[in-house]
Amino acid sequence: MKSLIVRGVTGIVFVGVLIAAMLYSNISFGILFAIISGLAVNEFCNLVRQYKKTTFSTLLAIMGGMYLFFILFAYTNYELDKPAVIVVPYIALCVYMFIRELYRKKGGALDNYAYFCLSQIYAALPFAMLNILATYGGDYSYVLPLAVFIFLWSNDTGAYCVGSMIGKNKMFERISPKKSWEGFFGGAITAIIAGYVMSLFFDILNTWQWIAMAATVVAAGTLGDLIESCMKREMKIKDSGNILPGHGGILDRFDSCILATPCVVLLLYLL
């Protein structure tokens, strides 16, 4: 009972802070997700440091991840005279991280190169791409970023309810024994209903585009969850961290968002 209470309180605070930051302004949105980007990169670096004994600088990786968010935030929210200039410090950091290995005599350069790049692509870039969704219609709007999370939460709720009641056919037992096809389709239907409801209140997309976005979030979010589960099994850990009591780490809470966000960006621009 105590663990359920802790999990519930954490979940309420987490969702409340997320929604409040997105609704208040682009600045609060930017601050929150820049911090989340840094925490995600830090968590990822700590995991691979234990798993592969990597020696690249976690601090520089965090700075890179947060600056990557800043690049897209500045580019999408403000009219910059020379937008390419803001990319220069990030390029310089990446170049330095590669050159730095030449002067280290401890070995493991290949792992350091690979996992530094993965920390940026996997743990930082998806959060930076939320800026593209937030400014899809021109000026900042919370609608599309919030919709991604609403669809993810709807999917999780529907999948849990249906899967716990009638789930029998395992979806990917080797990676996630609890996921079932019944739960997947239950979550998908719930998210698509949420997409239809969103279309009644927001005309930034038409009805079919909202439904397509919801379906994309379900498919990509499920794969994102499985990908993180696969990595955790490889590392032989249960949770990526403990920053969120009862929920694990940042990567545990945003694993679905990490793949869903780039896929939604791709979908919208294809549409």
Taking only the tens place, the pLDDT of each residue in 53-87 is 888 889 999 999 999 999 999 988 887 767 788 89
Structure tokens at 238: 């249960």
**pLDDT bucket at 177, cuts 50 / 70 / 90:** confident
Q: What is the mean pLDDT of residues 200-209?
A: 92
Residue 13 lies in a domain: no
Question: Of 117, 138, 159, which residue is a domain's last?
Answer: 138
The C-alpha R_g of the chain, in whole angstroms, comes to 19
Percent of the chain exceeding pLDDT 70 equals: 95
Residue 261 CA to its chain's centroid (Å): 7
Last residue of a domain, one of 138, 163, 191: 138
Whether residue 88 is found in the same domain as residue 156: no
Q: State residue 100's pLDDT score.
A: 87
Q: How does residue 245 score in pLDDT terms, banded at 50, 70 and 90? A: low
Q: Is residue 5 part of a domain?
A: no
For 164, the token pair is 């716990």
In this structure, the number of other CB atoms found within 10 A of the CB of residue 271 comes to: 11
Average pLDDT over residues 19-46: 93
Q: Which of 74, 109, 138 is the last residue of a domain?
A: 138
Please report which residue ranges of 25-57 form alpha helices under DSSP H.
Answer: 26-52
For residue 181, the enclosing domain spans 140-271
Query: Among 129-143, 209-223, 226-240, which is the least confidently predicted range?
Result: 226-240
The mean pLDDT value of the chain amounts to 88
Residues 131 and 206 in one domain: no
Q: Are residues 55 and 109 in the same domain?
A: yes
pLDDT band for position 246 (cuts 50, 70, 90): low
Q: Are residues 156 and 265 in the same domain?
A: yes
**Contacts of residue 210, Cβ cutoff 8 Å, sequence gap at least 6:** 147, 195, 196, 198, 199, 202
**Contacts of range 120-124, beta carbons closer than 8 Å, 24 or more positions apart:** 120/41, 120/61, 120/64, 120/65, 120/68, 120/94, 122/44, 122/258, 123/37, 123/40, 123/41, 123/43, 123/44, 123/65, 123/251, 123/258, 124/37, 124/40, 124/41, 124/64, 124/65, 124/66, 124/68, 124/69
Query: Are 131 and 64 found together in one domain?
Result: yes
**Size of the chain in residues:** 271
Q: Give the C-alpha distances (Å, rounded to integers) separating 75 from 70, 132, 143.
A: 8, 9, 19
Within-domain flag for 21: no
Residues 6+ apart with CB under 8 A from 222: 155, 179, 184, 187, 256
- The reply to whether 16 falls in a domain is no
- What's residue 111's pLDDT? 87
Tell me whether residue 12 is in a domain: no
Give the span between the Cα atoms of 119 and 66, in whole angstroms.
11
Asked whether residue 147 falls in the same domain as residue 129, the answer is no
Q: What total number of domains does the chain contain?
A: 2
- Of 59-68, 166-175, 242-251, least confident by mean pLDDT is 242-251
